[in-house]
Chain A
Amino acid sequence: QVQLLESGGGLVKPGGSLRLSCVVSGFTFSDYYMSWIRQAPEKGLEWVSCISGDSNYRQDADFVKGRFTVSRDNAKNSLYLQMNSLTAEDTAIYYCVRGGPAFGSDWGRGSLVTVS
Chain B
Amino acid sequence: EIVLTQSPVTLSLSPGERATLSCRASRTVKSNSLIWYQQKPGQAPRLLMYGASSRATGIPDRFSGSGSGTDFTLTISGLEPEDFALYYCQQYSSSLGWTFGQGTRVEIK
**Chain A residues engaging chain B, CB cutoff 8 angstroms:** 35, 37, 44-47, 50, 59-61, 95, 101-110
- Enumerate B25-81 residues with CB–CB distance to A below 8 Å: 32-33, 35, 37, 43-47, 50, 56
Among residues of A, the one whose C-beta sits closest to the C-beta of B36 is A103
Known: A101-B97, A103-B35. 7 other contacts (CB 8 A): A46-B100, A101-B92, A102-B92, A105-B56, A106-B47, A109-B43, A109-B44
What per-residue 1/0 map shows which CB atoms of B77-99 lie under 8 Å from chain A? 00000000000101010100111
Q: Are B94 and A103 in contact (CB under 8 A)?
A: no
Q: How far is the CB of A41 from chain B (nearest CB, A)?
A: 12
Among residues of A, the one whose C-beta sits closest to the C-beta of B90 is A103
When distances are taken between beta carbons in the complex, the residues of chain B under 8 Å from A107 are 44-46
CA distance A93 to B32 in the complex (A): 28
**For chain A, what secondary structure do more than half of its interface residues adopt (helix, strand, loop), or is it mixed?**
strand
**Chain B residues engaging chain A, CB cutoff 8 angstroms:** 32-33, 35, 37, 43-47, 50, 56, 88, 90, 92, 94, 97-103
B103 partner, pick from A44, A61, A102, beta carbons under 8 A: A44
Q: Are A45 and B92 in contact (CB under 8 A)?
A: no
Q: Are B100 and A44 in contact (CB under 8 A)?
A: yes
Most buried by A among B44, B94, B103: B44
User: What number of residue pairs across chains A and B have CB atoms under 8 A from each other?
Assistant: 51
A110 partner, pick from B32, B44, B90, beta carbons under 8 A: B44
CA distance A60 to B102 in the complex (A): 20
CA distance A107 to B48 in the complex (A): 12
Q: Are A47 and B97 in contact (CB under 8 A)?
A: yes
Among residues of B, the one whose C-beta sits closest to the C-beta of A109 is B44
Q: Are B90 and A45 in contact (CB under 8 A)?
A: yes
Can you offer 26 A-B residue contacts whose CB atoms are under 8 A? A37-B45, A37-B98, A44-B103, A45-B45, A45-B90, A46-B100, A47-B98, A47-B99, A50-B97, A60-B97, A61-B97, A95-B45, A101-B92, A102-B32, A102-B33, A102-B35, A102-B92, A103-B35, A103-B47, A103-B50, A103-B90, A103-B98, A104-B47, A106-B47, A109-B43, A109-B44
